């Protein structure tokens, strides 16, 4: 890596670094607040440990200019909660003669991004002040940090190449980094990002979704988009927020119409005392609306879990300001106190069974300080005097996992957008689980406005659906058994744990169930003729739905006269090396007959 702190204003050196930097320039960064994809991108390092900046990295493709920065101190880039005077200076044509030599830093600044004031100023080829939305800027994370990744939409920012320079500037100290600007040769390599499929993996036990509805569920225009989205995604459990204007009966009616269940069954819907709901295809056992702005609900999910799920739909306090920051932290503390007591069996709430899947999500309004999301993941309670001691919230004694969900159509993690706002798009909607019991198999944020016509047709969607339905994109998670799956027994040693086995007492590794009644063929005698479905299908070639396959008036079990042919397993009349209910049924069917 090149350390630039000792090369003050050596523009010639920076220029001759063009060839080297060009080899670093082509990549597809994912804006997901996980920075491992920057590891192969060379960075400009401060090196001396003094000043506002630690390092800066730059890369690009045909669609995006990406910037990575590590700062010496924690800040909220576009917030006043941790005051800063940080700016990004872009010399879009790498030409000192155009633009403005801002603060005499030796850079021809064509575009200045004033982060805390949330505006961009064009000094070349523009009309002055623009919003950060107008220049197509996205940042992750949305809350405070010492490390950020940024994406500039090249067309909106007017990054035309062939090269540019980027400098970070701290107006409070007058420090520009790196000195002379970081040179970058623009890559025209096509973005390798591929849209995500919306289908759930086969191993999925439940598809869970969280959606801030912006109080639009009673608006007919929005309803058409909601219907198409839910039919395309088909979730099993949904955590809604901002549904204060709608009743459970109203939402239940919509879901029964949009996503009808088999056998005229009805969706189950429960609401807290304000604007949160949980809807489920399975039974809802109990809700706990005493937790402020968070609604934990016990839900019967897939039988494979072995226990109900704890689904929490959340809508934490919005926006900045000291009072909002304090309330958001208090809400995070309160939920973790609830969860701690539910896991330990103390308090007045639920007593969770071991390995209960914990699924927490919704609109967390994570702007400003990062403390609330830290509490929700780690169990580190801020106000222990009011909410009690810290704890490790996952079943394996570790932290919960916040999953990085990217948009279905772009490598971005933001879930809220308003192009006319002064605020950039931000990730406000989150998914957190106990990964020891519930791991993420597949997840995404559905965005339709940039979806191709072929994909729109494939999934029955329209391009305007996502933003017509709400100002928040729906987030979707396909969940399966977590790392503690080994704690479930396998009574018959067939390789399928009892919580997933459709025939617990008889080994049936293929889990065959010809009539999909939930009982494996090895354990089922559908027609009651004394022979298991598995034997009728695989051995005797008789009809498991007909007690007298050949219609001669003799029950199949009597006619076949199945008797044990081995002395190794007395009582094994079905010759499957297991004495089971199937043998008993066969014996009862043969009782009194001459054999």
Residues 464-503 have pLDDT tens digits of: 999 999 999 999 999 999 987 545 667 788 877 766 788 8
The C-alpha atoms of residue 294 and residue 390 are separated, in whole angstroms, by: 19
Residue 306 is classified by DSSP as S
Q: What's the 3-state SS for 192-237? A: CCCCCCCCCCCCCCEEEEEEECCCCCCCHHHHHHHHHHHHHHCCCE
379 pLDDT more than 60:
yes
208 pLDDT more than 70:
yes
Residue 405 is classified by DSSP as P
Count the alpha carbons within 13 Å of 557 in the hemisphere toward its beta carbon.
Answer: 25
Average pLDDT, the chain: 89
125 pLDDT more than 80:
no
> Crossing angle for the helix pair 220-233 and 248-258, nearest 10 degrees?
60
Residues 503-517 have a mean pLDDT of: 86
Residues 302-326 have a mean pLDDT of: 94
Q: What is the largest CA-CA distance in the chain?
A: 108
Specify the range with the lowest mean pLDDT, choosing from 253-262, 299-308, 318-327, 519-528: 519-528
Report pLDDT for 81.
Answer: 83
198 pLDDT more than 70:
yes
183 pLDDT more than 90:
yes
State CA 201 to chain mean position distance.
14
Instruction: Return all residues near 504 (Cβ < 8 A) that are at least 6 apart.
Output: 491, 492, 498, 523
The C-alpha atoms of residue 171 and residue 87 are separated, in whole angstroms, by: 7
The C-alpha atoms of residue 207 and residue 186 are separated, in whole angstroms, by: 41
Residues 523-546 have a mean pLDDT of: 85
Quote the pTM value: 0.80
The C-alpha atoms of residue 382 and residue 332 are separated, in whole angstroms, by: 9
The pLDDT tens digits of the residues spanning 392-445 come to 999 999 999 999 999 999 999 999 999 889 999 999 999 999 999 999 999 999
**All domains of the chain in start order, with CATH:** 2-185 (2.60.40), 206-487 (3.60.10.10), 489-595 (no CATH)
Residues 564-588 have a mean pLDDT of: 65
The pLDDT tens digits of the residues spanning 4-43 come to 333 323 333 333 333 333 333 346 899 999 999 999 999 9
CB atoms within 10 A of CB 123: 19
The answer to whether 140 and 122 have CB atoms below 8 angstroms apart is no
Whether the bond into 349 is cis, omega within 30 of 0:
no
The answer to whether 174 and 434 have CB atoms below 8 angstroms apart is no
The answer to whether 301 and 318 have CB atoms below 8 angstroms apart is no
Percent of the chain with pLDDT over 90: 70
Percent of the chain with pLDDT over 70: 88
Radius of gyration of the chain, Cα coordinates, nearest whole angstrom: 30
Count the alpha carbons within 13 Å of 553 in the hemisphere toward its beta carbon.
Answer: 0
């Amino acid at each position: 890596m090149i350390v630039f702190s000792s090369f003050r204003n050596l523009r010639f050196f920076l220029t001759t670094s063009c060839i080297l930097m060009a080899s670093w320039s082509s990549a597809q960064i994912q804006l997901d607040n996980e920075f491992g994809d920057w590891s192969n991108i060379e960075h400009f390092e401060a090196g001396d440990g003094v000043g506002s900046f630690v390092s800066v990295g730059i890369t690009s493709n045909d669609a995006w200019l990406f910037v990575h920065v590590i700062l010496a101190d924690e800040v909220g880039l576009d917030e006043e909660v941790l005051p800063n005077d940080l700016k990004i200076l872009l010399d879009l044509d790498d030409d000192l003669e155009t633009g403005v030599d801002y603060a005499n830093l030796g850079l021809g600044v064509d575009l200045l991004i004033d982060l805390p004031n949330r505006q961009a100023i064009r000094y070349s080829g523009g009309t002055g002040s623009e919003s950060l939305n107008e220049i197509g800027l996205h940042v992750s994370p949305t809350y405070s940090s010492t490390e950020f990744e940024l994406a500039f939409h090249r067309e909106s920012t007017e990054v035309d190449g062939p090269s540019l320079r980027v400098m970070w500037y701290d107006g409070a100290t007058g420090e520009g980094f790196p000195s002379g600007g970081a040179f970058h040769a623009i890559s025209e390599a096509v973005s390798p990002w591929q849209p995500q499929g919306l289908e759930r993996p086969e191993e999925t036990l439940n598809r869970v979704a969280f959606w801030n509805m912006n109080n639009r569920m009673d608006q007919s225009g929005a309803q058409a988009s909601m219907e198409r989205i839910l039919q395309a995604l088909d979730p099993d459990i949904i955590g809604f927020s901002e549904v204060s204007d709608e009743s459970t009966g109203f939402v239940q009616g919509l879901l029964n119409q949009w996503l009808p269940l088999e056998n005229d069954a009805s969706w189950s819907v429960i609401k807290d005392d304000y604007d949160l709901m949980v809807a489920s295809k399975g039974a809802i056992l109990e809700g706990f609306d005493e937790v402020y702005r968070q609604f934990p609900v016990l839900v019967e999910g897939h039988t494979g879990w072995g226990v109900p799920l704890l689904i929490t739909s959340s809508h934490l306090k919005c926006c900045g300001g000291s009072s909002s920051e304090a309330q958001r932290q208090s809400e995070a503390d309160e939920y973790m106190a609830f969860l701690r007591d539910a896991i330990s069996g103390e308090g007045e709430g639920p007593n969770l069974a071991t390995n209960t899947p914990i699924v927490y999500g919704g609109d967390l309004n994570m702007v400003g300080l990062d403390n609330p999301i830290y509490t929700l993941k780690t169990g580190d309670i801020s106000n222990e005097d009011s909410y009690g001691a810290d704890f490790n919230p996952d079943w394996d004694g570790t932290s919960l996992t916040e999953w990085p969900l990217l948009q279905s159509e772009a490598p971005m993690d933001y879930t809220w957008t308003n192009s006319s706002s002064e605020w950039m798009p931000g990730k406000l909607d989150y998914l957190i689980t106990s990964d020891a019991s519930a791991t993420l198999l597949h997840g995404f944020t559905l965005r339709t406005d940039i979806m191709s016509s072929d994909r729109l047709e494939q999934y029955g969607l329209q391009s305007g659906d996502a933003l017509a339905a709400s100002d928040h994109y729906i987030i979707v998670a396909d969940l399966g058994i977590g790392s503690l799956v080994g704690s479930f027994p396998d009574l018959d040693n067939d390789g399928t744990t009892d919580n997933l086995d459709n025939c617990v007492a008889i080994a049936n590794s293929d889990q065959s169930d010809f009539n999909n009644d939930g009982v494996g063929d090895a354990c089922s005698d559908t027609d009651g003729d004394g022979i298991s479905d598995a034997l009728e299908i695989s051995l005797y070639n008789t009809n498991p739905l007909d007690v007298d396959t050949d219609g001669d008036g003799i029950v199949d079990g009597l006619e076949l006269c199945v008797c044990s042919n081995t002395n190794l397993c007395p009582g094994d009349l079905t010759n499957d090396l297991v004495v089971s209910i199937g043998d008993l049924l066969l014996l009862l069917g043969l009782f009194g007959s001459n054999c």
